[in-house]
Amino acid sequence: MNPGTGTVLDSVVQFCRDTGMTTVFGNPGSTELRMFRDWPEDFTYVLGLQESVAVAMAAGHALGTGRAALVSLHSAGGVGHALGAVFNAYRDRVPLVVMAGQQSRPLIQLRPFLGADEPAQFPRPYVKFSRQPDRAADVPAVLAEAHRIAMSHPRGPVFVSVPEDDWDQPAPPVEPRAVHGAFTADADALSTLAARLDACERPALVVGPGVDDEYALAEVRTLAERTRAAVWISPMSGRSGFPESHPLFQGFLPPAADRLTACLEAYDLVVVLGAPLFTYHFHTESPPLPARTELFHLDCDPGQAAWLPTGTSIVTTLKPALRQLAALLGESESDRKPPPLREAPLPVSAVDDITPELVLDLLQERLPRDRVLVEEAPSHRDAIHARVRVDLEGGYLTTGSGALGWGLPLAVGRALADRRRLVCVVGDGSALYSVQGLWTAARHRVPVTYVLLDNGGYAAVRALGHRIDIAPVPGTEIGGVDFTALAAGFGCPAAYVERPAELPAALDRALAQGDDDGPYLLHVRVTGIGTDTDSDSDSGTEGGALDSRDR
């Protein structure tokens, strides 16, 4: 490309270069062709074979780099395919700049083939910003505004629709701008919270995805240790946020009011950090918290603060607020008794069949502590949380919102961010939503080891059906899918294991793949669903990241 021509394309390319968005994820179509003229040598185009795969890969890349990732989608149809993944990115606060092609401006009024009607409305409400610029010359400035909004807390996806004839029109360049988005709470509010922490007897912290998003783990750990607070992860969190081997860590809160209340009834003060505490998946009539428990909620999203039905909310980014809070604490907590240690699950053994717990125990023994774990296995989430402990900041990624097909391509983008091997544990049902991501992984030799737990269907749906006295549940059997052959067809080496005696060696081979070896898939036939749960049912999930059908 010639940066001196002064076109929309020139200005956009330079802006993307200035902001580090030189890896572009997408699935191209006719309305994007002019965007690709004289494709710059320092840009990489990562092709996803379906638009939701492209968005999820971009999300993984954004989470790995800490920068917004650029996604190129094809007009109305491509945006429609991608919306489930855009929904996940919005709920999980992932900064994405989504650009979609549109038919040329003279054609728009004629309702053309592939044209998008009201394109700015299409992805709402699951984007922070959505616009089709009024003039071609405005495209670079609108893109720059969208990028700044995507990167402002709470971060999330933004959308810009670009008519295909805009790219060759003249447009001024966009000067890079810095926006420092951290902001802190009112000093009096933090002083009040510090006084409550000093005076309470049994404090608890509830850590949400905002802690990981704002890189505030060190500050949370300092606060927990200073106050000897029990630490829980919020329901349905898509991120890590506290080292799970830490003696103060207590576990993962369930998405049902009665069970959540039972977990928190021992505490007289609960401080929620970067999380919507009351994310439920099951309806109960219980109050959100025990009557005697005082609640404080710190988050950068004023919408969450307004919605929370009880307690005191402090609108703030976490890093500066937690540092100020630590400085305000007294020393009275030094005599406070720490919470009990979290109980470790009993080890399992198998004779005839492989259970999910056996796979996860072996994975826990072998997984390096600096290895990122991506997970989308809703049937086995309780067992994963109980048996595979993640201590690395940013070391655990899943979907906190529930649209399936996220995990497999998310792992591709995350591994592309730093080219270090990671492990993705994925269920058979989840994998079939986005199995095309294996092609991209193979094409770019992405260092991902997939451990695919195959229980032959949507086991979580069957379990939830049992919970409400529905059995059998139609449409929950899959079976007969040869994932090893499917992976090989996409160019990804794979192996299959179904006998317990074969599993350790097979898992060793899968995890021994190097950072330069490309993807590898281990297809493991397992029986049943995970049984590690504090639920009074056999749902096998602490809520799991399930879609509307709870697959």
Kindly name the residue from 48, 51, 101, 147 that is annotated as catalytic: 51
Q: What is the DSSP letter of 457?
A: B
Residue 512 has a CB neighbour count (10 Å cut-off) of 12
Distance of CA 189 to the CA centre of its chain: 31
Per-residue pLDDT averaged across 212-235, rounded? Answer: 96
pLDDT band at 2 (very low <50, low <70, confident <90, very high): very low
| Within a domain: 260 | yes
Tell me, yes or no, whether 373 and 520 share the same domain: yes
pLDDT given at position 1: 41
**Given 30, 265, 330, 475, the catalytic residue:** 30
Q: Is residue 547 over pLDDT 60? A: no
Q: Which pLDDT band, with edges at 50, 70 and 90, does 103 fall under? A: confident
Residues 6+ apart with CB under 8 A from 406: 56, 59, 85, 88, 376, 398, 399, 430, 434, 545
Q: What total number of domains does the chain contain?
A: 3
Same domain as 135, residue 13:
yes
Amino acid sitting at position 336: R
Domain extent for 191: 187-328
Let me know if 180 is exposed, middle or buried by CB neighbors in 10 A (0-12, 13-18, 19+). Answer: exposed
pLDDT of residue 476: 59
CA of residue 125 relative to chain centroid, distance? 18
**Is residue 199 within 8 Å of residue 139, measured between CB atoms?**
no
Contact yes or no for 123/159 (Cβ under 8 A): yes
The H or E element spanning position 159 is strand 158-163
Domain presence at residue 177: no
Classify residue 226: in a domain, yes or no: yes
Q: Residue 427 forms beta bridges with which residues?
A: 453
Residue 32 pLDDT > 70, yes or no?
A: yes
Catalytic-residue membership of 402: yes
* Mean pLDDT of all residues belonging to the chain: 89
CA atoms of 511 and 521, how far apart (whole Å): 10
Return the pLDDT at 383: 94
User: What six digits make up the tokens of 551?
Assistant: 């697959």
Answer whether residue 351 is part of any domain: no
- Predicted confidence at residue 438, as pLDDT, reads 98
The answer to whether residue 96 sits within a structural domain is yes
Task: Report which of 71, 127, 78 is spatially closest to residue 102, judged by C-alpha positions.
Answer: 78
Please tell me whether residues 370 and 515 are part of one structural domain: yes
Higher-confidence residue of 289 and 487: namely 487
- pLDDT of res. 537: 30
User: 106: buried, middle or exposed (CB in 10 Å: 19+, 13-18, 0-12)?
Assistant: exposed
Are residue 318 and residue 391 in the same domain, yes or no? no
What percent of the chain lies above the pLDDT cut of 70? 90
528 belongs to the catalytic site: no
Q: Which of 60, 101, 274, 402 is catalytic?
A: 402
Does residue 166 have a pLDDT over 60?
yes
Type of residue found at 510: A
User: Which residues lie closer than 8 Å to 281 by C-beta, 6 or more apart?
Assistant: 235, 236, 255, 256, 543, 544, 546
Instruction: Identify any residues that bridge with 204 across adjacent strands, giving them in sequence order.
Output: 230, 270
Residues 391 and 442 in one domain: yes
Looking up residue 449, the CATH number of its domain turns out to be 3.40.50.970
Residue 424 φ/ψ, nearest 5 degrees: -120, 115
Q: Give the pLDDT confidence score for residue 112 in this predicted structure.
A: 77
- Three-state SS at 286: coil
User: What CATH number did the domain enclosing 247 receive?
Assistant: 3.40.50.1220
Is 380 in the active site? no
Q: Is pLDDT larger for residue 62 or for residue 529?
A: 62
| Shared domain check, 465 and 387 | yes
Q: pLDDT (tens digit, 9 = 90+) per residue, 117-136?
A: 899 999 999 999 999 999 99
Question: Helix, strand or coil for residue 294?
Answer: strand
- Indicate the burial class of 6 (C-beta count within 10 angstroms; 0-12, 13-18, 19 or more): middle
Residues 138 and 192 in one domain: no
Residues 370 and 278 in one domain: no
HSE-CB of 10 using CA atoms within 13 angstroms: 14
Give dist(CA 149, CA 157) in Å, integer: 9
Say if residue 459's pLDDT is above 90: no
pLDDT of residue 282: 67
Nearest CA-CA partner of 470 in 394, 541, 537, 399: 537
What pLDDT does residue 407 have?
A: 97
DSSP per residue over 61-104, as a string?
Answer: HHHHHSS-EEEEE-HHHHHHHHHHHHHHHHHTT--EEEEEEE--
Give the sheet arrangement for strand 269-273, strand by strand. 249-252, 230-233, 203-207, 269-273, 294-299, 312-315
- Give the containing element (helix H, strand E) for 158: strand 158-163
Q: Of 148, 163, 178, which one is at a domain's C-terminal end?
A: 163
Q: Which amino acid is it at 313?
A: S
Closest CA to 298 of 180, 430, 208, 170: 208
Residue 445 has pLDDT above 70, yes or no: yes
Q: Give yes or no: residues 310 and 200 share one domain.
A: yes
Residue 274 lies in a domain: yes
Task: Indicate which residue of 74, 147, 297, 380 is catalytic.
Answer: 74
- Residue corresponding to tokens 């090989």: 488
pLDDT at 249 over 70: yes
More confident residue, 107 or 293: 293
Q: How many C-beta neighbours within 10 Å does residue 27 have?
A: 22
| Each residue's pLDDT tens digit, 360-411 | 999 999 999 899 999 999 989 999 999 999 999 999 999 888 789 999 999 9
Q: What pLDDT does residue 542 have? A: 42
Q: Which of 281, 380, 444, 523 is catalytic?
A: 281
- Residues 541 and 399: their CA atoms lie apart, in Å, by 14
Question: Is 281 labeled as catalytic in the residue annotation?
Answer: yes
Q: What are phi and psi of 221, to 5 degrees?
A: -60, -45
The answer to whether 454 and 428 have CB atoms below 8 angstroms apart is yes
513 shares a domain with 378: yes
Confidence of residue 308 (pLDDT cuts 50, 70, 90): confident
Percent of the residues in the chain that have a pLDDT greater than 90, as a whole number: 73
Q: pLDDT (tens digit, 9 = 90+) per residue, 478-492?
A: 778 999 999 999 999
Distance separating alpha carbons of residues 280 and 221, to the nearest angstrom:
26
Active site residue 51: yes
| Same domain membership, residue 148 and residue 197 | no
Out of 11, 26, 29, 357, pick the active-site residue.
Answer: 29
Is residue 535 a part of any domain in this protein? no
Q: Does pLDDT of 534 surpass 70?
A: no
Mean pLDDT of 416-438: 96
Better-scored residue on pLDDT, 115 or 199: 199
Kindly tell me the burial class for residue 105, based on how many C-beta atoms sit within 10 Å of its own C-beta (0-12, 13-18, 19 or more). middle
Q: Which residue has the tokens 């002019």?
A: 34
Mean pLDDT of 42-70: 97
**Does 224 reside within a domain?**
yes
Between residues 286 and 56, which one has the greater pLDDT? 56
pTM for the full predicted model: 0.92
Considering the domain architecture, whether residues 241 and 378 belong to the same structural domain is answered as no
